[in-house]
Structure 1
């Protein structure tokens, strides 16, 4: 099975939006496999979710102000309980400057 690739944009504050995605995935019977944060511009979230839950995921996120493009790659759902891997690219729209993190000096 191919990985379901989702793309979303939001004006919701990034920490709140990310937590909301995590909580929604968990509530729908899925889990978060990995997260990559790219400054304060974008997060890429890798998740696993029952195939039948993707429509509700899109609906709930959209209602919360996270506009998700409809999922592609689901095709005909033969087994609604089957687990499907997915990625969600979440882009944040804001006027904040890039997030800068200090890298500590490593002795030696």
Structure 2
């Protein structure tokens, strides 16, 4: 079993727009999203599965869409077997942290 490919990326695109773009790019490359964690308005991590041959296509799509991706440490796969990938996307902006009200729970 291949190890998880970890990608790191950063963008100045608006957070919601960039996140939607990433999701669409993953789907367009034949992948699917397994899990997403959003950390305030500073960072989002996406756990996904993707055919091994589509990794370079995904990286190219993200770069073309204004998302800078660091080169992966492990080489992309040359076969079509499913590959697990994590993408850490950092949002570069001057906005304050996103604060959400936590509702009071009786009891």
| Distance across 2 between alignment mates of 1:91 and 1:67 | 10
| Distance across 2 between alignment mates of 1:74 and 1:5 | 11
Q: State the Cα RMSD in Å.
A: 1.1
Structure 2, unmatched stretches of 5+, are: none
| Distance across 2 between alignment mates of 1:72 and 1:56 | 16
Which residue matches 2:12?
11
**Native 8 Å contact 1:31 1:48 kept in 2:** yes
Matched position secondary structure for 1:6: strand
Question: Aligned residues, how many?
Answer: 106
Which residue matches 1:35?
36
**Native 8 Å contact 1:6 1:89 kept in 2:** yes
**Native 8 Å contact 1:12 1:92 kept in 2:** yes
Q: TM-score, normalised by structure 1?
A: 0.93
Matched position secondary structure for 1:98: coil
User: 2:84 aligned with 1:63, yes or no?
Assistant: no
Structure 1, unmatched stretches of 5+, are: none
Matched position secondary structure for 1:44: strand
Q: TM-score, normalised by structure 2?
A: 0.94
Which residue matches 1:26?
27
**Native 8 Å contact 1:3 1:73 kept in 2:** no
Which residue matches 2:85?
86
Query: Residue 81 of structure 1: CA displacement?
Result: 1.2
